A and B are shown apart, each in its own frame.
Chain A
Amino acid sequence: MAILDVKNLEKHFGSTRVLNDISFSLEKGNALAIIGASGSGKTTLLRCLNFLEIPNQGVISVKDEVIFDAAARGRVSEREIRRRRLHFGLVFQSFNLFPQYTALGNVCLAGKLLAQERPDFQANKKEIFAEIEEKGRSLLAQMGLSDRAEHFPHQLSGGQQQRVAIARALALEPDILCFDEPTSALDPELTGEVLRVIRSLAEKETTMIIVTHEMAFARDVADQVIFMEGGYILEQGPAKEVIGNPKEERTKQFLARYREDA
């Protein structure tokens, strides 16, 4: 059973079509890499999944529940959008950590705010917060950041900040974790530590969608690959095939450029 099913997604900004007829599905525990040139619509696709953009056409289903349908005109309450959004986690290219919170504070903030909606919150506030913090610490430990829990973002390197951001996204236990070019804002020597963390998540069968320019990484870590161009999916399939032995001419050209660089 597919955990995520996207059908005929379309998005335009004014008269510019950014996404056209995007359809794909993703199995639970699989990692999907989205590759393609800048401006091909990869990031917009991720933003549509996370409700940061509203698609003009199409249907998005998670675990057989339709969470977005452009044809259904009924207004969805903000509360309901927030609930649906939590199926997804998003790690940004520029981290977007909250600067006035420590690493642990960043990881725990959203969980603590959501806990306020629990009926037993007033009665068990202390226990609930302690539980959230304990979980936050263990996530930071998983990211190799146990000794950085009380540091503020500006005291951390870019790679460390991005790993905090990954822990923050994982804290809410999303069904699908999305990465928007997670290493593009990092110095080359810092990308390794972030890629290692994502690789370890893949090994633990975390369902992930990764927009990336790291072709070797996509080939090794992803199960599926989508190649996008001009807002269309030009080719999709198993990672080793699409990257190792592409069928479309455009995919070959795109990948050849990367080989020259490497």
Chain B
Amino acid sequence: MSTFSQQLPIVLHSLNAGFLQTLRLFGITLAGAIPLGLVICLGCMTRFKPLTAVLRAVIWIVRGTPLMIQLLIIYYFPGIVLGNAFWGSGERGRFIAASVAFIVNYACYFAEIYRGGIQSIPVGQDEAGMVLGMTKSQIFFKVKLLQMVKRIVPPMSNEIITLVKDTSLSRIIALQEIIWAGQSFMKGHQGISGVIWPLFFTAIYYLVFTGILTIVLGAIEKKLNFFR
């Protein structure tokens, strides 16, 4: 049995590697869900009824079921039911499956936030643009977009903070993120077994990272305070 000071560097090295995977999943989810959410949102607001009906149903299902179930279905369904494990079995496959699940899930939440942002802009802004001879796209990009961004920053910040912690759900398909890394020392990993404190340590990683994000998002919010 080694001492704590001997275990610490090994544990930290492993937790760092896990946290890097957490960050990758966090980053790819934002990069995918922010634009996909806008597509879903605009699709929901078209006058083409079949499209809006399908998208409303997708949003209902995605928001109405646990993300953990969605992860399990997306990862295991192709292999077990269709007999074609096209994600692959390695860490790479798990990461792709988790990314797909997270992007689709978060895009649905983002779409609803965008919709609220767009609908909260007074119709007078459209009308002012129209009587000044602006085109629809000029009104959207030059008049409404920044007002919409300002309104959605607080609810988006909330979702982004939640996403940091939600990445831990990918542990259920054994993605080697930080919770997985912490837990591995309970079962036995690199000669260390039966210790639970590495798992407690993971909380500090989350706390520090969400702290940094809170500061960054707060700065963005402040930056947009030049108008009301």
List the one stretch of B44-52, B107-115, B121-129, B198-206 in contact with chain A. Answer: B121-129
Does any Cβ of A come within 8 Å of B134's Cβ? yes
Whether B133 pairs with A172 at a CB distance below 8 angstroms is yes
Whether A90 pairs with B131 at a CB distance below 8 angstroms is yes
Whether B147 pairs with A99 at a CB distance below 8 angstroms is yes
List the one stretch of A33-41, A106-114, A231-239 in contact with chain B. Answer: A106-114
B residues 159-213 touching A (CB-CB < 8 Å): none
List the one stretch of A78-86, A201-209, A252-260 in contact with chain B. Answer: A78-86
Which residue in A82, A90, A100, A109 is a CB contact (below 8 Å) of B135?
A82
A232 to B71, CA, bound (A): 64
CB closest residue in chain A, given B128: A96
Does any Cβ of B come within 8 Å of A42's Cβ? no
Whether B131 pairs with A98 at a CB distance below 8 angstroms is no
Whether B147 pairs with A100 at a CB distance below 8 angstroms is yes
A109 to B127, CA, bound (A): 15
Does any Cβ of B come within 8 Å of A154's Cβ? yes
Specify which chain B residues have a CB less than 8 angstroms from the CB of A50 in the assembled complex.
130-131
Question: Once A and B bind, how many residue pairs between them come within 8 Å at the CB atom?
Answer: 63
A255 to B226, CA, bound (A): 45
Specify which chain A residues have a CB less than 8 angstroms from the CB of B143 in the assembled complex.
98, 109
B residues 126-150 touching A (CB-CB < 8 Å): 127-136, 138, 142-143, 146-147, 150
Whether A152 pairs with B226 at a CB distance below 8 angstroms is yes
Whether A153 pairs with B133 at a CB distance below 8 angstroms is no
Whether B135 pairs with A78 at a CB distance below 8 angstroms is yes
Specify which chain B residues have a CB less than 8 angstroms from the CB of A51 in the assembled complex.
130
A50 to B146, CA, bound (A): 26
Known A82-B135, A152-B227; contact A92-B142, beta-carbon cutoff 8 A: no
Which residue in B125, B133, B136 is a CB contact (below 8 Å) of A86?
B133
A52 to B126, CA, bound (A): 10
CB closest residue in chain B, given A109: B142
Whether A92 pairs with B133 at a CB distance below 8 angstroms is no
Number of residues of chain A lying within 8 A (CB) of chain B:
28
Does any Cβ of B come within 8 Å of A89's Cβ? yes
Does any Cβ of B come within 8 Å of A23's Cβ? no
Specify which chain B residues have a CB less than 8 angstroms from the CB of A172 in the assembled complex.
132-133
Whether A153 pairs with B131 at a CB distance below 8 angstroms is no
Whether A96 pairs with B124 at a CB distance below 8 angstroms is yes
Known A99-B228, A100-B227, A113-B142; contact A82-B125, beta-carbon cutoff 8 A: no
Whether B227 pairs with A154 at a CB distance below 8 angstroms is yes
Whether A154 pairs with B133 at a CB distance below 8 angstroms is no
Specify which chain A residues have a CB less than 8 angstroms from the CB of B226 in the assembled complex.
100, 152
B216-228 contact mask (Cβ, 8 Å, vs A): 1 or 0: 0000000000111
Whether A85 pairs with B131 at a CB distance below 8 angstroms is yes
Whether A113 pairs with B134 at a CB distance below 8 angstroms is yes
Known A78-B135, A92-B124, A96-B125; contact A85-B228, beta-carbon cutoff 8 A: no
A223 to B122, CA, bound (A): 34
CB closest residue in chain A, given B127: A52
Specify which chain A residues have a CB less than 8 angstroms from the CB of B134 in the assembled complex.
82, 110, 113
For the complex formed, measure the closest distance between the CB of A31 and the CB atoms of chain B, giving whole angstroms: 19
A residues 193-238 touching B (CB-CB < 8 Å): none
Whether B128 pairs with A98 at a CB distance below 8 angstroms is yes
A86 to B228, CA, bound (A): 28
A151-179 contact mask (Cβ, 8 Å, vs B): 1 or 0: 01110000000000000110010000000
CB closest residue in chain A, given B149: A100
Which one of B128, B129, B138, B227 has the greatest number of beta carbons of chain A within 10 Å?
A: B128
Does any Cβ of B come within 8 Å of A57's Cβ? no
Whether B125 pairs with A98 at a CB distance below 8 angstroms is yes
A61 to B38, CA, bound (A): 42
- Interfacial residues, chain A to chain B (CB-CB below 8 A): 50-52, 78, 82-83, 85-86, 88-90, 92, 94, 96-100, 109-110, 113-114, 152-154, 168-169, 172
* 25 A-B pairs with C-beta separation under 8 A: A50-B130, A51-B130, A52-B131, A82-B133, A82-B134, A83-B133, A85-B130, A85-B133, A86-B133, A88-B131, A89-B131, A94-B124, A96-B122, A96-B125, A96-B127, A96-B128, A98-B143, A99-B147, A110-B133, A110-B134, A113-B134, A114-B133, A168-B132, A172-B132, A172-B133
Q: Which 4 A-B pairs have the closest CB atoms?
A: A110-B132, A96-B124, A96-B128, A154-B228
